[in-house]
Amino acid sequence: MHKDVKEILYTQDEISQKCKELGKLIMNDYHDKNLVLVGLLKGSVPFLAELSKYVNLDVTFDYMDVSSYEGTESRTITIKKDLDQDVKGKDILLVEDILDTGKTLSTVKAMLEERGAATVEIVTMLDKKEGRTFPIEAKYVGFEIPNAFVIGFGLDFDEKYRNLPYVGILKEECYQ
């Protein structure tokens, strides 16, 4: 275990098993649709890679990189990298590492709906329900977690720890 990790919450095997379960649900719901998996950079990449192994459909992939301003309640976000494709008429599944306040995903969802996507839903590896300040829920949730700062499997602190093969709680002394 990495020295900055206080506790491991989910191992690689547990995440993989969860991806298998989510993949089944997604295949059931999207087998007759035009599914586009949209990964939110950078944190969603390991989860998207694992999850998509179990989505045995003709899907396409796209990526967005957005940043939201800290500490404001407004829905302003900056698009650092936009999608490559036109989403009109497509069924979009936004793939995220963690859903916290909901600001990022509620803004992106509204934006893609405005562009004419047929449907826009969310799959998130982790859901910090207590953190929610924007009214948005994910259709598929891997694990519900308490309000602790977590790292690994894509999640970072200061761009570090994304490569850890598990999700863990970061020691307080590392960010205080």
Tell the residue number behind the tokens 């191992």, with chain if given: 11
- Could you list the beta-strand ranges (E) of the chain: 5-10, 35-40, 60-68, 77-81, 91-99, 119-127, 140-144, 150-151, 167-170
If binding is defined by CB under 6 A, does position 127 make contact with ligand XMP? no
Cβ 140 to ligand XMP, closest distance in Å? 16
Q: Looking at 23, 39, 43, 168, which residue binds Mg ion (CB under 5 A)?
A: 43
Cβ 116 to Mg ion, closest distance in Å? 25
Candidates 100, 127, 156, 158; catalytic one: 100
Q: Looking at 43, 46, 142, 168, which residue binds ligand XMP (CB under 6 A)?
A: 43
As a dihedral over the C-alpha atoms of residue 88, residue 93, residue 98, residue 103, rounded to 10 degrees, the angle is: 30
Q: Is 100 tagged catalytic?
A: yes
Cβ 159 to Mg ion, closest distance in Å? 11
If binding is defined by CB under 6 A, does position 122 make contact with ligand XMP? no
CA angle 46, 175, 41 (to 5 degrees): 25
Residue type at position 11: T
Q: Of the two residues 30 and 100, which places its CB atom closer to Mg ion in the complex?
A: 100
* CA dist., res. 127 & res. 132, Å (int): 9
* CA dist., res. 60 & res. 145, Å (int): 29
Q: Looking at 23, 102, 142, 168, which residue binds ligand XMP (CB under 6 A)?
A: 102
Q: Of the two residues 30 and 145, which places its CB atom closer to ligand XMP in the complex?
A: 145
First vs last C-alpha separation in the chain:
21
Q: Of the two residues 4 and 156, which places its CB atom closer to ligand XMP in the complex?
A: 156
Interface residues with ligand XMP (CB under 6 A)? 43, 68, 96-105, 149-151, 155-157
- Interface residue list for Mg ion (CB under 5 A): 43
